[in-house]
Amino acid sequence: MVIVVVGGHTRNIGKTSVVAGLIAALPELQWTAFKVTQFGHGICSAHGEPCDCETDAHTIAVTEERSTTSGTDSARFLAAGAARSFWVRTRQGQLAEAMPRVRKEIAAARNAIVESNSILRFIRPDIYLTVLDPSVEDFKSSAQYFLDRADAVVWSGTNSPNSTTVETAWSPALLQLLRNKPQFFLQAPAYVSNELTQFVAKHVVKITQSAR
């Protein structure tokens, strides 16, 4: 079994599209997919809506997606061909509480693919892809913390990673961590290329063979 994690430096840069694209491109791997969302204060993890609840029942929720048309990211994974798909929701900083259920579902999977940075605090994936858009300055601390662990970089958006935008928005130290990693350049709507698919597929074969 292979675990792939797809993270990124901020929201709305194509992470979900990368996950869905890999699921669709490699259907033979029979993915179990996970979308991890951590809500801030005042948002209920049970349904993702504003809430004043402070009960334990509302701190985490792990829901298996049953529909391909519900409009959620987990539904996109199912529609792309995932064997199973889960939406993991917790309050900020409380992902540990959901990990027993997540680990159980990962253990039951043929192969697992997870959209999250924070999950790296609890599991060590076989492949970690980081999605970066140089036109967006925001860089989450969780993405910075795990950047050196990335096996490859997926650049999204229209700017080159060597552009002035990157040099002024992100520190040179961050860019230095990426210098010798495989890099893929993708744009909407197709955030997955043949090259990225082959990269993941080769790693899967290598990992599978070494496990025998």
Domain ranges of the chain: 3-35+82-88+106-211
DSSP 8-state code for residue 133: -
- Alpha-carbon span 56 to 67, nearest angstrom: 27
Considering the entire predicted model, what is its pTM? 0.88
User: Is residue 151 pLDDT above 80, yes or no?
Assistant: yes
- 94-120 pLDDT, tens digit per residue, is 999 999 999 999 999 999 999 999 999
Tens digit of each residue's pLDDT (9 = 90 or more) over 160-212: 565 445 555 788 888 888 889 999 998 778 889 999 999 999 999 999 888 77
Residue 35 φ/ψ, nearest 5 degrees: -110, 120
Question: Is the confidence at residue 32, as pLDDT, over 80?
Answer: yes
Which strands sit side by side in the sheet containing 127-132, from one edge to the other?
A: 60-64, 84-91, 31-39, 111-115, 3-8, 127-132, 152-155, 183-185
Which residues, listed in sequence order, are joined to residue 114 by a DSSP beta bridge? 5, 34
Which has the minimum average pLDDT: 22-26, 45-49, 69-73? 45-49
Confidence of residue 55 (pLDDT cuts 50, 70, 90): very low
Is 3-35+82-88+106-211 CATH 3.40.50.300?
yes
Confidence of residue 158 (pLDDT cuts 50, 70, 90): low
